[in-house]
Amino acid sequence: MTTRPLIAGNWKMNLDRAAGTALARELAGAVASASAFEMVVCPPAPYLLAVADELAGSPVALGGQDCHTAASGAHTGDVSAPMLSDLGCTYVIVGHSERRADHGETDTIVRAKAEAARAAGLVPIVCVGETEAQRDAGTTLDIVGRQVVDSVPDGLDGATLVVAYEPVWAIGTGRTPTVDDVAAVHAHIRGVLAAKTPDAAAVRILYGGSVKPSNAVELLAVANVDGALVGGASLKTADFLAIARSV
């Protein structure tokens, strides 16, 4: 298995087909197989196939932004993990705080989505993170630890699981925790994972929340930070590549 840091781009509901395929083409042309990092981009579902075409033959992987818990059925508007796999995805983000907030996704649902992802051969990127009120109340480690316990399926390993720590208050705000705070949360996540997998040391734990070229070196150097989940800065080729090259 690879232990390279993972640099994941979450495009969210941004870019149109022309802009998304152009971004994918530029990344595919710039990233070499022997890079120090692994890269995955997660476009909006309607553009997955067009982006897959641009990434064909390149080491840049494709991921979904969400999947349903079921493999198929009467779930209007949803996308299943086997469908993502069919389109060439190898990763899928589950439990992003925007989905938890906008769609009422609980830890139980997130866990079921992660299990559905694994059943389809995808690697789930399971997102956890505290709100600003929870941080202010001093409950960050308890909240994040509980989310990991309840959202992450048991028995996965470094090849089949990625966890992303994304403080809700840092997403899209330009604010980030201190490196000491990031280190404390990532170490805690690693410890909690030890009870769920014999392979906790090999599970990549990404940091996400306002990662940009100017702070990537510092954040990616923190102990137990094994890559980044990047939103806004993943929409610009130069910025996303600069972050990836900061590992």
Q: Which of 43, 64, 124, 208 binds ligand PEP (CB under 6 A)?
A: 208
Looking at the Cβ atoms of 99 and 111, the one nearer to ligand PEP is: 99
What is the C-alpha separation between 224 and 184, in angstroms, rounded? 9
Q: Which residues contact 197 (CB under 8 A, 6 or more apart)?
A: 154, 155, 156, 157, 161, 203
Please identify the residue of the shown chain whose CB is closest to the bound ligand PEP.
Answer: 231
Q: Which of 115, 166, 186, 188 is catalytic?
A: 166
- β-partners of residue 63 are 91
Is 130 in the active site? Answer: no
Residue ranges of the alpha helices (H) in 56-178?
81-86, 97-102, 107-119, 132-136, 140-151
Is 98 in the active site? Answer: no
Q: Which of 82, 206, 232, 246 binds ligand PEP (CB under 6 A)?
A: 232
- β-partners of residue 91 are 63, 123
Q: Which of 63, 124, 129, 209 binds ligand PEP (CB under 6 A)?
A: 209
- Structure letter (DSSP) for residue 91: E
211 touches ligand PEP by CB under 6 A: yes
What is the C-alpha separation between 107 and 72, in angstroms, rounded? 21
235 touches ligand PEP by CB under 6 A: no
Residues numbered 132-191 forming contacts with ligand PEP, rule: CB under 6 A: 166, 171-172
Count other C-beta atoms under 10 Å from residue 50's C-beta.
14
Q: Which stretch binds ligand PEP (CB under 6 A): 69-77, 84-92, 150-158, 226-234?
A: 226-234
| Total residues binding ligand PEP (CB under 6 A) | 13
230 touches ligand PEP by CB under 6 A: yes
| Residue 9, H or E segment | strand 6-10
- Structure letter (DSSP) for residue 164: E
What residues are labeled active site? 96, 166
Q: Which residues bind ligand PEP (CB under 6 A)?
A: 10, 166, 171-172, 208-211, 229-233
